[in-house]
Amino acid sequence: MDRSGGGTASSAARAKAVARPSWWDLYEVVGKIGEGTYGLVYLVRVKDKAQGYKLAIKKFKPSKDGDGVSPTAIREIMLLRECCHENIVKLVNVHINHADASLYLAFDYAEYDLYEIIRFHREKLQYAISPYTVKSLMWQILNGLHYLHSNWIIHRDLKPSNILVMREGDEAGVVKLGDFGLARIYQAPLKPLSDNGVVVTVWYRSPDLLLGAKHYTPAVDVWAVGCIFAELLTLKPLFQGVEDKGMHNPFQIDQIDKIFKVLGPPSVDTWPGLAHLPYWQHNRQSIQNKKYDHPLLPSMTAHFAKTAAYDLLTKMFEYDPAKRLTAEQALKHEYFRQEPLPGKNSFVSGYPGEKVVVYPSRPVDTSLDMGSNEPTPVGNTANPASGQQRRFQQQGGDQSGSGQGGTTTGSRLGPGGSGRRSDGRSQGQGPSKMQRR
């Protein structure tokens, strides 16, 4: 027996080596790019692929109940294994660490997300995103959403941080819908979807969800995309309610107040189902005691009022979900048939001589210990940007945590499958002159 303690140290080293799954040897870890309540996200390079081929690997913590793997991870795997479309994030591989029952999902890596693109324009460039880029991003978001809804899938967590954009190669400027942890099949639910708990980050939550609808529809995703559209046009969230963290149901009085101030209040005449929503009934006095005489939307969107973009936006913000535009109908809207036409590469110039914006790369933290079950990052040299790395949270990019921010789950990762036509256009109902730029 080694009385110096060397035997203990070597035993610990052997235990650490055994605990690390052998599949980690397939990858060269660059660093950490995300963290949340679900676990961590690593940026890696594949050793046996072409030089520079990158993946994002999302590690899920074991189930809180201690009964195995995370149900969120299982949902993502089940849905993404079946999805094959160029505007849907592509699940490349699934790994498991049997030592602690943690799952690892590998996705192609996407350098950008809309949260960071919008923030870069708002805080650094201080000018609007080009009309061509906005239109191309929106067309691809709706194209991916139409694919999901056509296959009976509701996403239920659409927000800028979950809309990824590729940077390099043939897929440069291509949008990928990510983070399917809250997604559900809705064709024949065994129980009301509201039983799944609170869904959609509060700033992007539709009024029907906020007011307690039990059997909601894909219209909740269209409302969220409308919020994203407004944010792309104005560079700030349209409905910035303060979330009451003590509430364990979807109702948020401040968020409802913000929506009614911008759009004006709904009525039973225009939305017959309103009278049957539980939180409308329970909170009618506190809601209706307030006056909403002058909706703010016209003044907040004055620079594109009376345009096709404004018309599309208002139709996505229809209070009655039965009247709200579907993703398929939105793709056919006049907005997408006007110049500049949308293109596959959202980053190229829409007009001759227009400046192409170069967006900063995603921060990668290479300075932290990756844990006993993971390899050490290559070089283990602190990235200059890591000190400024965004705080990755389940909700909230602002200090209150109420709204945007980064759920870095299946998001921030990368590209979708082969849902591409031979002429370069995406599958879906797009403009007949869709350009492959």
> 130-139, 230-239, 420-429 — which is least confidently predicted?
420-429
Instruction: State the Rg of the chain over Cα.
Output: 23
Residue 9: the pLDDT is: 53
Residue 416 belongs to some domain of the structure: no
Residues 278 and 254 in one domain: yes
What average pLDDT is seen over the chain?
Answer: 79
Residue 411: the pLDDT is: 34
Q: Whole-angstrom Cα distance, residue 243 to residue 252?
A: 6
Residue 69 belongs to some domain of the structure: yes
Who has greater pLDDT, 101 or 5? Answer: 101
Question: What are the phi and psi torsion angles at 96 (to 5°)?
Answer: -135, 140
Domain that holds residue 46: 14-110+363-371
Residues 151 and 52 in one domain: no
Q: Whole-angstrom Cα distance, residue 356 to residue 386?
A: 26
Residue 404 belongs to some domain of the structure: no
Residue that finishes a domain, picked among 350, 371, 392 = 371
> 153-157, 196-200, 315-319, 335-339 — which is least confidently predicted?
196-200
Residue that finishes a domain, picked among 346, 371, 396 = 371
Question: Of 419, 188, 429, nearest to 327 (Cα)?
Answer: 429
Residue 155 belongs to some domain of the structure: yes
Residue 67 belongs to some domain of the structure: yes
| pLDDT 10s digits, 275-300 | 888 877 776 666 766 778 788 898 88
Give the mean model confidence (pLDDT) for residues 313-336: 97
| pLDDT 10s digits, 166-209 | 998 899 999 999 999 889 888 765 455 444 544 458 899 999 98
Residues 268 and 235 in one domain: yes
Residues 20 and 164 in one domain: no
Q: Whole-angstrom Cα distance, residue 285 to residue 71?
A: 39
Q: What's the number of domains the chain is made of?
A: 2
Residues 82 and 157 in one domain: no
| pLDDT 10s digits, 106-159 | 999 999 999 999 999 999 999 999 999 999 999 999 999 999 999 999 999 999
Residues 240 and 151 in one domain: yes
What CATH number corresponds to the domain at position 71?
A: 3.30.200.20
Residues 118 and 106 in one domain: no
Residues 163 and 246 in one domain: yes
pLDDT above 50 for 393: no
Residue 406 belongs to some domain of the structure: no
Q: Whole-angstrom Cα distance, residue 287 to residue 279?
A: 10
Residue 60 belongs to some domain of the structure: yes
Give the mean model confidence (pLDDT) for residues 10-21: 56
> 54-58, 202-206, 349-353 — which is least confidently predicted?
349-353
Residues 31 and 85 in one domain: yes
Residues 241 and 166 in one domain: yes
Residue 62: the pLDDT is: 76
Residue 67: the pLDDT is: 64
What CATH number corresponds to the domain at position 249?
A: 1.10.510.10
* Highest mean pLDDT: which range of 94-108, 235-249, 289-303, 386-400: 94-108
pLDDT above 50 for 349: yes
Residue 401: the pLDDT is: 37
Q: How confident is the model at residue 10 (pLDDT cuts 50, 70, 90)?
A: low
For residue 245, give the amino acid letter.
K
Residues 232 and 332 in one domain: yes
Give the mean model confidence (pLDDT) for residues 202-227: 90
Q: Whole-angstrom Cα distance, residue 381 to residue 152?
A: 46
Residue 261 is assigned to a ligand binding site: no
Q: How crowded is the C-beta side of 190, counted as CA atoms within 13 Å?
A: 1
Residue that finishes a domain, picked among 326, 352, 371 = 371
Residue 349 belongs to some domain of the structure: no
Residues 160 and 103 in one domain: no
Residue 283: the pLDDT is: 66
Catalytic residues: 157
pLDDT above 70 for 305: yes
Give the mean model confidence (pLDDT) for residues 305-330: 96
